[in-house]
Structure 1
Amino acid sequence: MLDKALSQQLAQHLKLLRQPVELVASLDDGAKSQQLLELLNEVAALSDKVTVVRADDDERRPSFAIVRAGTDVSVRFAAIPLGHELTSFVLALLQVGGHPSTTAPELVEQIQRLDGEYHFVTYLSLSCQNCPEVVQALNLMSVLNPKITHVAVDGALFREEVEARGVLAVPTVFLNGEVFDQGRMTLEQIVSKLDTSAGERAASALNDKEPFDVLVVGAGPAGVSSAVYAARKGIATGLVAERIGGQVLDTMAIENLISVPYTEGPKLASALEQHAQAYDVDIMELQRAARLVPAAEPGDLHRVELESGAVLSGRTVILATGARWRHMGVPGEQEYRNKGVTYCPHCDGPLFKGKRVAVIGGGNSGVEAAIDLAGIVEHVTLLEFDGTLRADEVLQRKLHSLSNVDVLVNARTTEVTGDGAKVTGLVYEDRTSGEHHTLALEGVFVQIGLLPNTEWLEGTIELTNRGEIVIDERGATSVPGVFAAGDCTTSPYKQIVTAMGSGSTAALSAFDHLIRTTAPALASTDA
């Protein structure tokens, strides 16, 4: 199952094992069990510290546990961990085998201090780029704390279980039998949700920070670019955000970042974080901005109040809060979110195998989603509000070549219907005739563009009627000393490469503003 190059790489990784590991398999007579056994045997052949044991003692088959020999330390996969989860498998092998994690020591101690019994189950799909971070976080927690257990379950492999639990979006995490959370989560986010006093401690630490020369709010491509450019000037730079990477984390294939022919969102987000960490940037994650208080007089400090209650200040501020998927705003959408209404075809598509679904939106994202889903589901109906599709011609040709796809233009979605537990249909208006029609289906994938994350700025700086921050060619906003960059602004093109460029422009403009107003002592002439 593993090609020669991958086997060689894995063999090198397994040299890091410090303690013997057993791969304890629970199998039946099915083809998937044979496939899993083949994978486990191939891995075991690469290291004398890894052995395969047949137990057949788990109710989920095929599944296997990675067990530190002679101990209770273990991680379980009810999956054949290939695709995006291969990295999760390798990391779990190393961590169970005693190889130390690179996680910050204070976070490791926080995990080890968690008291209580925590039994996690994560439902995933192998095509989901958001799932590995959650799986890897919970796997590590189960290795570090004996009171924590974790099972990663491939929803496509255990469809009856997924349907019985009403799982229609991945990753979905259950804790002690109840839904814990859904969607991408970092290790820090999971731990802070369990450790209820963590937020108060973090807010107190943030309040003690000295003012920054440049305070960047948001850590997508624009925010990280701003922070790197500011830090290279030798000035005090802070970067505050919910997560490094922003919307990039939810992006699958990236093929138009110049000089990088192909990458994936999570990989780019990791590279952004590493680049920021290479400089003297104070990175403050798991924080959401709530209010901007501009300086009262020239030379005074701008303040950013956070939802946690903490307050940060800066001589200049760069707003790079990005954008999020736009919602339809129709009855039933929120009620059935993650119960059939979803915004990520790559992540959730496998859960709708053999079902009828709709895609809302005829731009590139919508058409690409419909093409991808057509290979999984029984039937796709794409609905576009305008009279024509807006996607690139090459995508439209591919779409129209698919036999299980219908395209409806001049179609305005008016309602998502359901039975209280899951989506059962969609109502749309034919904008030409005014007639309403109902489609029977089980999934609705919304792909209708972006909405800037700027609600918290209303009444403070100039925004357009679409909520975009108005900026000039230098990234300056209507408030002196406050700059903005990326998808949250009036920049006409919402692309990763343009966001990076606007971030660097905003940082250079902020530095120029500081020179002219406060002349920071550490200023350099580095371009």
Structure 2
Amino acid sequence: MLDAKLTQQLKAYLEKVTQPFELKASLDDGPKSQELAELLDEISALSDKITLTKDGDDARKPSFAINRPGEDTGVVFAGIPMGHEFTSLVLALLQVGGHPPKASEETLEQIKALDGKMEFETYFSLSCQNCPDVVQALNLMAIFNPNIRHVAIDGAVFKSEVDEREIMSVPSVYLNGEPFDQGRMSLEQILAKVDTGAAEREAAKLSEKAAFDTLTVGGGPAGASAAIYAARKGISTGLVAERFGGQVVDTLGIENFISVTKTEGPKLVAAMEEHVKDYDVDVMNLQRAVKLTPAEVEGGLHEVTFESGATLKSKTLVLATGARWREMNVPGEAEYRNKGVAYCPHCDGPLFKGKHVAVIGGGNSGVEAAIDLAGIVGHVTLFEFMGEMRADAVLQKKLKSLPNVDIVLNAQTTEVTGDGSRVNGLNYKDRTTDENHHVALDGIFVQIGLVPNTEWLQESGLELSPHGEIVTDAKGMTSIPGVFAAGDVTTVPYKQIIIAMGEGANAALGAFDFIIRN
């Protein structure tokens, strides 16, 4: 199962284990059980602190628990955690084996203080880049709180459970047998949901903070870059975000970040976060901005209010709240979100293996999604509103070469249809003939561009473009003195990671220049 390079890396990691633990496998006679047995044999041979038994009686087979001697740690993998989940397996082995996690002491104490029995189940796919964060967070909670148990389940191996629970999006998390949440979640987000008093405590703590010299609102590439450049100037710097990393977290392949031949969104975000932490930046997560109150006089303090009730003040601001996937806004889309309507082909594509799906959008993201899905699903139909696709020629050529792809141009989606529990098709109008059509489908992947996250600025007096983007000058300054903006939320053309980083640096330098001149 493991090649020589991976075996050597894992052996080096396992040298960090400080206490013995047991791998307890539950197997049957099937091929997947044989694969898992082979993997566990290879792992147990790499450290004398690992014991392997194959007499487990878990109803899910193949599966295995990672336990300390005489203790049910509560960490279980059902399936074979390779692909993106191999990192989750390695971390679970290390943490059960006594190696300390990266979580802060404050976070670990919060986990230990949680009351009541909590049995989590997470359904993942091996190609899902969003799933590991959820699996790793819940594993950590199980390891540090004996009242918590977590089973990470490969949906492809346990397809009958996926069908029975009508799971059409991963990660899907259940708590004590009931739906808990779907999609990427950080450890902090999960804790905020199960620890009911956490948000209120955090809001009170934030509101007591002294005013910053520069506060960046948003934690994507632009926000991270702005925070680093501001902190390097030696001024008090804060970064507050709803989710560190922003939309980059949901990006799979990145091949145009100069000097890095190829990487993935989660890896780039992890590197950005480590870089920010190298500086004296106060990072505040899980805070959604809802209101900007500009300074009453030039050089005064600007105030940002958050959904939690917290408020923060700063001499200058860098607004970098980014953009989100544009929705179709047609009947049925909201009703069937995560029930066949999806926005991440890499995450949810494997759940539609052998089925007929649609991709909405003929730009680069839509065509790339259709190409990826064509290798997994039975058939892909791409719908484009205009009379021609807008994707790069090389992508269009690749798409048209695939035998299981249809392309429908001049198609205006008018409705998502379903049977009440899941998608069964879509209705569209042919814009050249005005004829209405219905296509039977099992899933719909929406890839039609981005919307700037500026709704919270509508009452601020800030100048916005007709498309809702923040208007900035050459230094990143907005129409309000001392308020700067950067990245996909602004009018800057070409929404690219590398451009957002450059614009973040530009805005931070502009903010510093504003401070020293005022």
Same fold per superposition (TM over 0.5): yes
Q: Which amino acid aligns with 2:65?
A: A
Displacement of 1:85 after TM fit? 0.3
Q: Which amino acid aligns with 1:16?
A: K
State whether residues 121 and 153 of structure 2, in contact with CA within 8 Å, keep that contact through their aligned partners in structure 1.
yes
Residue-by-residue CA offset, 1:30-53 (whole Å, 9 max, x unaligned): 111111111110111111111221
Displacement of 1:56 after TM fit? 4.2
Displacement of 1:474 after TM fit? 1.1
Aligned residue in 1 for 2:484: 483
Residue-by-residue CA offset, 1:268-288 (whole Å, 9 max, x unaligned): 101111111100101001101
Displacement of 1:74 after TM fit? 3.6
Please list, as runs of the form range in 1=range in 2, the aligned pairs for 1:90-489 lying within 5 A after superposition. 90-460=90-460, 461-489=462-490
1-structure distance, mates of 2:501, 2:220: 9
Q: Which amino acid aligns with 1:425?
A: G
State whether residues 341 and 443 of structure 2, in contact with CA within 8 Å, keep that contact through their aligned partners in structure 1.
yes
1-structure distance, mates of 2:479, 2:7: 56
RMSD: 0.8
Q: Secondary structure at the match of 1:468?
A: coil
2-structure distance, mates of 1:147, 1:198: 19
Aligned residue in 2 for 1:514: 515
2-structure distance, mates of 1:56, 1:222: 49
State whether residues 125 and 347 of structure 1, in contact with CA within 8 Å, keep that contact through their aligned partners in structure 2.
yes
Q: Secondary structure at the match of 2:425?
A: strand
Aligned residue in 2 for 1:503: 504
1-structure distance, mates of 2:433, 2:21: 66
Q: Secondary structure at the match of 1:12?
A: helix
Q: Which amino acid aligns with 1:269?
A: V
Q: Which amino acid aligns with 1:228?
A: I
2-structure distance, mates of 1:158, 1:441: 23
Q: Secondary structure at the match of 1:513?
A: helix
Q: Secondary structure at the match of 1:438?
A: strand
Displacement of 1:423 after TM fit? 0.3
Q: Secondary structure at the match of 1:373?
A: helix
Q: Secondary structure at the match of 2:233?
A: coil
Q: Secondary structure at the match of 1:382?
A: strand
2-structure distance, mates of 1:17, 1:298: 57
State whether residues 121 and 174 of structure 2, in contact with CA within 8 Å, keep that contact through their aligned partners in structure 1.
yes
Q: Which amino acid aligns with 1:492?
A: P
Structure 2: gaps (5+ residues): none
State whether residues 221 and 504 of structure 2, in contact with CA within 8 Å, keep that contact through their aligned partners in structure 1.
yes
Displacement of 1:101 after TM fit? 1.4
Give identity over the alignment, percent. 66
1-structure distance, mates of 2:264, 2:79: 23
2-structure distance, mates of 1:56, 1:484: 56
Aligned residue in 1 for 2:69: 69
Residue-by-residue CA offset, 1:419-456 (whole Å, 9 max, x unaligned): 11000110011001100100101100000000111100
Q: Secondary structure at the match of 2:491?
A: coil
Matched pairs, number: 517
Q: Secondary structure at the match of 1:389?
A: coil
Displacement of 1:27 after TM fit? 1.2
1-structure distance, mates of 2:69, 2:376: 40
State whether residues 74 and 146 of structure 2, in contact with CA within 8 Å, keep that contact through their aligned partners in structure 1.
no
1-structure distance, mates of 2:152, 2:275: 31
Aligned residue in 2 for 1:12: 12
Q: Secondary structure at the match of 1:415?
A: strand
2-structure distance, mates of 1:220, 1:226: 10
Displacement of 1:464 after TM fit? 1.2
Residue-by-residue CA offset, 1:237-284 (whole Å, 9 max, x unaligned): 010001211000000010101111111100110111111110010100
Q: Secondary structure at the match of 2:57?
A: coil
Residue-by-residue CA offset, 1:355-382 (whole Å, 9 max, x unaligned): 1100000011111111111111111000
State whether residues 299 and 482 of structure 2, in contact with CA within 8 Å, keep that contact through their aligned partners in structure 1.
no
Q: Secondary structure at the match of 2:66?
A: strand
Q: Secondary structure at the match of 1:149?
A: strand
2-structure distance, mates of 1:283, 1:74: 31
Displacement of 1:299 after TM fit? 2.1
2-structure distance, mates of 1:93, 1:69: 14
1-structure distance, mates of 2:204, 2:299: 26
1-structure distance, mates of 2:510, 2:259: 26
1-structure distance, mates of 2:102, 2:485: 33
Q: Secondary structure at the match of 2:406?
A: strand
- TM-score relative to the length of structure 2: 0.99
State whether residues 74 and 96 of structure 1, in contact with CA within 8 Å, keep that contact through their aligned partners in structure 2.
no
Residue-by-residue CA offset, 1:491-516 (whole Å, 9 max, x unaligned): 01100000000000000000110011
Displacement of 1:307 after TM fit? 0.7
2-structure distance, mates of 1:266, 1:254: 10
Q: Secondary structure at the match of 1:153?
A: strand
- TM-score relative to the length of structure 1: 0.97
Q: Which moved more, 1:350-359 or 1:25-34?
A: 25-34
Q: Which amino acid aligns with 2:515?
A: L
Aligned residue in 2 for 1:21: 21
Residue-by-residue CA offset, 1:114-141 (whole Å, 9 max, x unaligned): 0001000000000000000000000000
